[in-house]
């Protein structure tokens, strides 16, 4: 670790004080953190360990605070100033450790009454983090090799109904879809190791179904088993999947924590499919929490080979601009690598391929459709084919409707899903 | 696990739709979760696995959405309806597993465009959770035994300056404060195992200092070593502390996740001091995230013997009413036990004892003061004495000023800190 390495955090700050004052409070809270001078707090100590305000970019102020509880200074003019504030932290304060990084760059800052809004917009991490965290072992290249698909997105679906299928019913569904040619399937995030369908029975039924289909088609479906659970279960569940011939494990990252993800990545032998349910809690307020730009870096350090990003025109609140930003963030190299595949899902079907390709200009993603593939009027195989055709058209610059004219699976998909 | 056990989640919901419609969407998203009917979703499956809306309590509506991205229905009257919605989930959907519980009761709900606000206000958990999670091993009774203090709060401080002391300087500070009679000290959350003061050196310096002081005073200070780190470090760091004679470990719960906390609780031999930095991110928006009432239940299941709750009149945004709610929530038994000690801190001094006692009507808490004890004009011993006196007065119903008249340490504290 170099002595001069620093972490730079960029915050969106909203405050009834001046931005300079708010920035100084943020930097001070995260180095000395008490309300009255204490012995031992020397200038030398502050120089060695203090956080430093590196820059402030002022934005339009607001007339009212976004979050409650800010205490304006006396003589407050009623304005809540907003700006992007860059603060640097000496790495030697905490070392290249995600858990301790978070206590420093987030910590108590969200609770400061000098602020009416705080959002961690970006994190610039020094090279020591790359030495400490190996990151994804598979990424796009390793995942493609396992599914044997190279020139288009990996196309797949989510088990539906998400809850309630017995292991036997699940096995039958998987075999049918694997025979239909799908590349990928995943458990729903609601369904990991429930009493009504224990993971062990699910793994057996699914891996046998996948092998039977592979014998027939010559290709092996990748199935992401949801192994979310307590720390001790992660190893047990992972080993069960790998021992049974499974080729992917899925976790709800916010359920096991980034520490749980990094732990899994220490011994995982198959790609880790990172689901981000609960993420909305950290990001939906525009003046609180974190941006996905910052969060996805931590997920990649901790080992997410695949990472969910929502989809264009999804059922969720997120704007398409925000989804595009997330996809592009995942596609931006970190430390020259740390490759993750963005996973695009929610209300997806063939009709969302063109816009997704325009956003990414690459096919290194997973494109998942639940109903948008399985409920195709001619069945799942046609649903899968419709998405393959849509991506073919997108990459070749052919309009969707034009391609549909000569391809019935695509035309039927447009008839069913294109009216919304 | 009984077949009929259910989890009940209470949400604060804000929506441009009717509350009934929003509640149905919430229940549906967390059981089937796709936008178009799929094969296999039978009535029997819905009955066995569906979440059920148990009740709706309407609150005052708003004229504007709190969070962005809600898509109002056509003909929307401009009102955003608010209410408390109780939804029950069959436990057999996910089992008594906190990680999978969170995917069910939080999951993708925060991102739904039918909602302009969602906050998990409370969780009622069935008995199977008690069978699955042993909870705190020490709580108030076990902690009191270790510090030998029974009839008043455990009084202590936080290492200041929080960053920068060498292990030798830290040892000297700890010895001085232990000799001054303090019950408890803790590392700052910013300071776990940094390169400039490795945990191993800190543990050695601090435990030796504590033993030297104990030889002189006959009482052993409890020091909470911040062992926050990756999963593998938790065991290593814990064992280092215990092997060296340390009697408490501290973790930043949001840094290691509830799964990390539950993992630590599997093998911990000393009380776990739970710090909640980063919590503001999950709770400061009144229409997003979680209430501490819900969160503290999960922390207690996972094993937090001590749990930070802010303090009255703190430096943070949180209202005193909210702090009191948190303290009382921690003091409410779960499954007949699961005892945690609320840790009151931030801008605390002798003057905050009376109001804190009125809120709790109990002395089963830790009351921590940084500057409010260490910067006492007559030194830390007088600072500690001032807090002990204040609690004595509070419990006996003597006004602070009256008690101060005959107790100089208290009088001097009021002179210094009582002017704010």
Q: What is the pLDDT of residue B34?
A: 47
From chain A, the residues in CB contact with B119 under 8 A are none
- Nearest C-alpha neighbor of A82 from the set A57, A106, A105: A57
- Find the closest chain A residue to B310 by CA distance: A111
- Nearest C-alpha neighbor of B391 from the set B361, B354, B364: B354
Asked if A161's CB is within 8 angstroms of B32's CB, the reply is: yes
From chain A, the residues in CB contact with B165 under 8 A are 40
Q: Position of tokens 């004595």? A: B392
Q: What is the pLDDT of residue B47?
A: 83
Q: Which two tokens stand for residue B112?
A: 């739904």
Asked if B254's CB is within 8 angstroms of A280's CB, the reply is: no
Asked if B38's CB is within 8 angstroms of A161's CB, the reply is: yes
- Find the closest chain A residue to B162 by CA distance: A32
Mutation for A interface: B98, B185, B255, B351, most A CBs within 10 A: B255
In this structure, are residues B58 and A215 in contact, taking their beta carbons and an 8 Å threshold?
no
Q: Is the pLDDT of residue B356 over 60?
A: yes
Q: What is the pLDDT of residue A359?
A: 87
CA dist B39 to A161, A351, A379, B29, B49, Å? Answer: 8, 22, 11, 17, 16
Asked if A196's CB is within 8 angstroms of B92's CB, the reply is: yes
From chain A, the residues in CB contact with B37 under 8 A are 371, 375
From chain B, the residues in CB contact with A176 under 8 A are none
Q: What is the pLDDT of residue A32?
A: 58
Q: How far apart are CA A135 and CA A133, in angstroms?
A: 6
Sequential DSSP letters for A224-267: EEE--S-HHHHHHHHHHHHHTT--EEEEEHHHHHHHHHHHHHHH
Asked if B1's CB is within 8 angstroms of A93's CB, the reply is: no
- Find the closest chain B residue to A371 by CA distance: B36
Mutation for B interface: A15, A28, A34, A166, most B CBs within 10 A: A34
Radius of gyration of chain B (CA): 24
Q: What is the pLDDT of residue A18?
A: 97
Q: What is the pLDDT of residue B420?
A: 57
From chain A, the residues in CB contact with B1 under 8 A are 195
Q: What is the pLDDT of residue A35?
A: 44
In this structure, are residues B302 and B102 in contact, taking their beta carbons and an 8 Å threshold?
no
Q: What is the pLDDT of residue A315?
A: 86
Q: How far apart are CA B232 and CA B246, in angstroms?
A: 19
In this structure, are residues A379 and A180 in contact, taking their beta carbons and an 8 Å threshold?
yes
Q: Residue A81: beta bridge partners? A: A15
Asked if A37's CB is within 8 angstroms of B108's CB, the reply is: no
ipTM: 0.96
Q: Give the CA count within 13 Å in the CB-facing half-sphere of B194.
A: 25
From chain A, the residues in CB contact with B129 under 8 A are none
Q: Shortest CB distance from B100 goes to which of A48, A97, A255? A: A255
In this structure, are residues A207 and A230 in contact, taking their beta carbons and an 8 Å threshold?
no
Q: How far apart are CA B282 and CA B279, in angstroms?
A: 5
The tens digit of pLDDT for each residue in A228-286 reads 999 999 999 999 999 999 999 999 999 999 999 999 999 999 999 999 999 999 999 99
Q: Is the pLDDT of residue B143 over 60?
A: yes
Q: Shortest CB distance from B259 goes to which of A161, A257, A317? A: A257
Q: What is the pLDDT of residue B272?
A: 98
Q: How far apart are CA B55 and CA B51, in angstroms?
A: 12
The tens digit of pLDDT for each residue in B224-257 reads 999 999 999 999 999 999 999 999 999 999 999 9
Q: Which two tokens stand for residue B265?
A: 């609780």
* Three-state secondary structure call for residue A117: strand
Q: What is the pLDDT of residue A46?
A: 80
Q: Residue A2: beta bridge partners? A: none
In this structure, are residues A383 and A376 in contact, taking their beta carbons and an 8 Å threshold?
yes
Asked if A319's CB is within 8 angstroms of B102's CB, the reply is: no
Q: How far apart are CA A92 and CA B406, in angstroms?
A: 48
CA distance A66 to chain B (A): 8
Q: What is the pLDDT of residue B29?
A: 81
* Three-state secondary structure call for residue A183: coil
- Check the CA dihedral B324-B330-B334-B337 and report its sign: negative
The tens digit of pLDDT for each residue in B156-209 reads 999 888 888 999 999 999 999 999 999 999 999 999 999 889 999 999 999 999
Q: How far apart are CA B178 and CA B147, in angstroms?
A: 12
Q: Residue A186: beta bridge partners? A: A158, A224
Q: Which two tokens stand for residue A280?
A: 């909305």
CA distance A153 to chain B (A): 22
Q: Shortest CB distance from A102 goes to which of B109, B193, B278? A: B278
* Three-state secondary structure call for residue A9: strand
Burial letters B231-245, b for 16+ CB under 10 A, else e = bebbeebbebbbebe
In this structure, are residues A264 and A277 in contact, taking their beta carbons and an 8 Å threshold?
no
Q: How far apart are CA B256 and CA B222, in angstroms?
A: 23
Q: How far apart are CA A240 and CA B353, in angstroms?
A: 54
Q: What is the pLDDT of residue A71?
A: 95
Q: What is the pLDDT of residue A37?
A: 55
Asked if B194's CB is within 8 angstroms of A92's CB, the reply is: yes
Q: Shortest CB distance from B263 goes to which of A231, A316, A370? A: A231
Q: What is the pLDDT of residue A38?
A: 58
Q: Residue B354: beta bridge partners? A: none
Q: How far apart are CA A228 and CA A255, in angstroms?
A: 7
Sequential DSSP letters for A33-97: --SS--TT--HHHHHHH--EEEEEEEEEEESS-SSTT--PPTT--S-EEEEEEEEEEEGGGT-S-
Q: Shortest CB distance from B103 goes to which of A190, A318, A375? A: A190
From chain B, the residues in CB contact with A39 under 8 A are 374-375
* Three-state secondary structure call for residue A349: coil
Sequential DSSP letters for A291-340: -HHHHHHHHHHHT-SEEE---TT-SBS--HHHHHHHHHHHHS-BTTB---
- Check the CA dihedral B192-B196-B198-B202 and report its sign: negative
User: Can you list the residues of chain A whose pLDDT is less than 70?
Assistant: 32-41, 420
Q: Shortest CB distance from A162 goes to which of B32, B260, B318? A: B32
pTM of the model: 0.96
Q: What is the pLDDT of residue B68?
A: 96
Q: Is the pLDDT of residue B33 over 90?
A: no
- B90 pLDDT band, cuts 50/70/90, is very high
Q: Shortest CB distance from B49 goes to which of A163, A262, A289? A: A163
Q: Is the pLDDT of residue B115 over 90?
A: yes
- Nearest C-alpha neighbor of B71 from the set B11, B13, B15, B12: B15
Mutation for A interface: B164, B177, B235, most A CBs within 10 A: B164
For A264, residues 6+ apart whose C-beta sits below 8 A from its C-beta are A234, A235, A238, A249, A251, A256, A272, A303
């Amino acid at each position: 670790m170099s002595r001069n390495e620093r972490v730079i955090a960029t915050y969106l700050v909203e405050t009834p004080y001046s931005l300079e004052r708010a920035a100084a409070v943020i930097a001070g809270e995260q180095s000395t953190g008490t309300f009255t001078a204490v012995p031992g707090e020397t200038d030398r100590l502050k120089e060695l360990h203090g956080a430093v305000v590196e820059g402030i970019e002022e934005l339009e102020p607001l007339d009212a605070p976004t979050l409650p509880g800010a205490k304006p200074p006396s003589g407050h003019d009623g304005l809540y100033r907003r700006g992007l504030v860059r603060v640097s932290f000496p790495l030697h304060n905490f070392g290249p450790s995600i858990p301790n990084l978070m206590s420093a760059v987030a910590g108590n800052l969200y609770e400061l009454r000098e602020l009416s809004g705080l959002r961690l917009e970006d994190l610039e991490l020094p090279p020591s983090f790359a030495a400490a965290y190996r990151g994804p072992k598979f990424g796009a290249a390793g995942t493609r090799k396992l599914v044997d698909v190279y020139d288009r997105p990996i196309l797949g679906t989510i088990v539906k109904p998400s809850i309630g299928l017995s292991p036997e019913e699940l096995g039958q569904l998987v075999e049918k879809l694997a025979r239909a040619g799908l590349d990928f399937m995943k458990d729903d995030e609601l369904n990991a190791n429930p009493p009504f369908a224990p993971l062990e029975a699910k793994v057996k039924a699914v891996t046998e179904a996948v092998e039977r289909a592979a014998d027939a088609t010559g290709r092996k479906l990748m199935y992401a088993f949801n192994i979310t659970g307590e720390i001790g279960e992660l190893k047990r569940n992972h080993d069960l999947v790998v021992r049974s011939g499974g080729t992917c494990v899925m976790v709800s990252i916010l359920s096991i924590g980034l520490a749980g993800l990094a732990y899994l990545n220490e011994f995982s032998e198959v790609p880790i499919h990172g689901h981000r349910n609960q993420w909305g809690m950290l990001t939906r307020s525009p003046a609180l929490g974190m941006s996905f730009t910052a969060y996805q870096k931590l997920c990649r350090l901790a080992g997410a080979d695949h990472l969910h990003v929502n989809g264009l025109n999804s059922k969720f609140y997120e704007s398409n601009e925000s989804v595009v930003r997330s996809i592009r963030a995942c596609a931006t190299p970190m430390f020259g690598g740390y490759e993750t595949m963005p996973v695009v899902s929610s209300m997806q079907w063939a009709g969302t391929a063109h816009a997704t390709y325009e956003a990414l200009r690459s096919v290194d993603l997973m494109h998942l459709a639940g109903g948008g593939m399985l409920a195709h009027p001619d069945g799942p195989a046609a649903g899968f084919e419709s998405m393959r055709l849509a991506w073919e058209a997108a990459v070749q610059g052919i309009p969707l409707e034009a391609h549909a004219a000569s391809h019935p699976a695509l035309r039927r998909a447009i008839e069913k899903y294109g009216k919304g």
